[in-house]
Structure 1
């Protein structure tokens, strides 16, 4: 080690606290875990030693010593949606980290567009799970299934898409109305006063995130860009072939189509239709989620902007929230806030 280098900090242990306070290890354990039976003066000495040494409990080690562990189910969509594929990969990576914290993740793939299928999957979850993270449909039966899990003492986190009137513990995802408003502002500025129509393509209007995005989009477009008329929302069910057909029909039917806002997925279909029409540089296209495909479309100029949410942050946040709840620990709200990213061709990571 070179002269002047700082020695790595050594984490204080319960034994260090006991020596500094001049008490037994058992007494320190009682004070740290807020158990009764210790005199006030002794509590004060132990707490002073904890503060002086900067002692922090090793929660994972404590769980290991107690033989305590938690199992969580992550209910994710079936299908070939690229963002959801990325999210699945990030959940798998998070599972590796969580295992060291005595938490274990199992991934279940379900058709989240079908409320009966999704609700049935939640209703039939194994009682071995202490927590669930789910891409939620805001549907009465799905809300009822979430409420039933909560009644059984199972913590539920909604991920990416929310069901806010349910008894879920927390929503982990972006502010979707704000994301839609952001897309509308970009659309209006990119089109710079041109008149015409703008298409809005959702995956499903049963998904609250898609509803909220198109609501925010219409809110800004109608109030601040009266030169642009939003067409009725159409649903592509996040399917590329279906979305390609819908986009091709829009392009054929509306000679004055100036922009396309996709608040769901199916982006490969939109790109195919735009490029086949010869209007890819004429129509402003804004979509969600940075994937291998949207990156490619952005680089070659078919796509103009991406509104993104970080799937890695969401996977880790959902796991942290569930683990903290089951362990009786606190979370940092700022750490769990999911940001809205805007990517243009010029700032791709």
Structure 2
């Protein structure tokens, strides 16, 4: 069956090729009734643009930049690896992907990195900080014509086009339910450790966790959350302090990264079998300690899915392609030692 062409659309709609091109590329100067007639012709003929041909005709590639955290966060390194795999897959489609490492815990530094991409990128995927300067930088990029999606951690007050990541409030609720059930009715204190309470994903996880503990496990007392900037050494010091200060500590929920620090503190204290530990992200390290029993449950998000989804969404926004919301939804995965892959 012959492929439907722009000429077919123009003939069916009774307009010129130039008018069809203006409608497809959302340019001004087309009367609303005419645009509707073109859209109806597109739907009737099931016309699908040849995007690669359009990129070739345009004579330039899509340029996308992923801004990822600097440091040793194992999940973020896995995300970077998957983004590089995606970049290799789309290079023949005239899509170029670069990676910039930034201290995303510093709002001014992250905002400056975003500002530097104005005129240098068509689209940006950023692990965002919910910070005024970052939101302003995202808005400025959007205003300049750059498409921005947030990745893993959102900045919902900004004008970003999409958020790519799990429902973090639901993830926190899930973590609380798992921890409470593992405790089997035992009462006591629960410690929370986060990377930074300026990260939206960490805030939302804390909120969800607190909701379920208060509703379903009244015998548990939550201690004030402590920030470890996702650094193993800092997190180890925080976890060791929790264990040393509270003999009745029965659970730890690590909202962010730094699981190596919690594991080290638990094992050094000799209480790794007494304190229930729920963590995030299935990495080689967390998988090993999940099987050994120091970690009791892991809430996971698929780094490969997130990298591919962010790329698809940037392309779709740049080219006006419809988005399949179901395909882009990032699932919450739950792993215990019995179902670990």
TM-score (norm 1): 0.86
Shift of residue 333, structure 1, vs aligned partner: 0.8
For residues 319-349 of structure 1, the C-alpha deviation after alignment (integer angstroms, 9 at most, x for no partner) is: 1111111112111111111111101111112
Report if the CA contact (8 A) 2:176-2:210 is conserved: yes
1:334 aligns with 2:326: yes
1:105 aligns with 2:97: yes
Name the structure 1 match of 2:3: 13
Once superposed, what is the RMSD of the aligned Cα atoms? 2.6
Return the match for 1:93 from 85, 90, 101. Answer: 85
The separation in 1 between residues aligned to 2:169 and 2:239, in whole angstroms, is 24
Shift of residue 116, structure 1, vs aligned partner: 1.0
Name the structure 1 match of 2:140: 148
Give the count of matched residue pairs: 326
Give secondary structure in 2 for the equivalent of 1:62. helix
The separation in 1 between residues aligned to 2:276 and 2:100, in whole angstroms, is 37
Report if the CA contact (8 A) 1:98-1:319 is conserved: no
The separation in 1 between residues aligned to 2:118 and 2:138, in whole angstroms, is 14
Report if the CA contact (8 A) 1:307-1:341 is conserved: yes
Return the match for 2:155 from 163, 179, 185. Answer: 163
Return the match for 1:133 from 115, 125, 137. Answer: 125
TM-score (norm 2): 0.88
Give secondary structure in 1 for the equivalent of 2:114. helix
- Cα distance, 1:48–1:270 mapped onto 2, change above 3 Å: closer
Give ranges in structure 1 of 5+ residues lacking alignment: 1-9
Name the structure 2 match of 1:288: 280
For residues 149-207 of structure 1, the C-alpha deviation after alignment (integer angstroms, 9 at most, x for no partner) is: 11111111010001101111111111111100000011111111101000001011111
- Cα distance, 1:48–1:208 mapped onto 2, change above 3 Å: closer
Return the match for 2:269 from 263, 266, 277. Answer: 277
Name the structure 1 match of 2:27: none
1:194 aligns with 2:211: no
Give ranges in structure 2 of 5+ residues lacking alignment: 25-29
Shift of residue 58, structure 1, vs aligned partner: 2.8
For residues 59-91 of structure 1, the C-alpha deviation after alignment (integer angstroms, 9 at most, x for no partner) is: 113322332421011111100000000010011
1:240-279 correspondence runs (5 A): 240-279=232-271
Name the structure 2 match of 1:6: none
Report if the CA contact (8 A) 1:159-1:171 is conserved: yes
User: Which one has the largest radius of gyration?
Assistant: 1
- Cα distance, 1:200–1:49 mapped onto 2, change above 3 Å: closer
Give secondary structure in 2 for the equivalent of 1:177. helix
Shift of residue 100, structure 1, vs aligned partner: 2.5
Return the match for 1:114 from 97, 106, 116. Answer: 106
Shift of residue 55, structure 1, vs aligned partner: 6.4
The separation in 1 between residues aligned to 2:16 and 2:4, in whole angstroms, is 7
The separation in 2 between residues aligned to 1:49 and 1:202, in whole angstroms, is 49
Report if the CA contact (8 A) 2:189-2:221 is conserved: yes
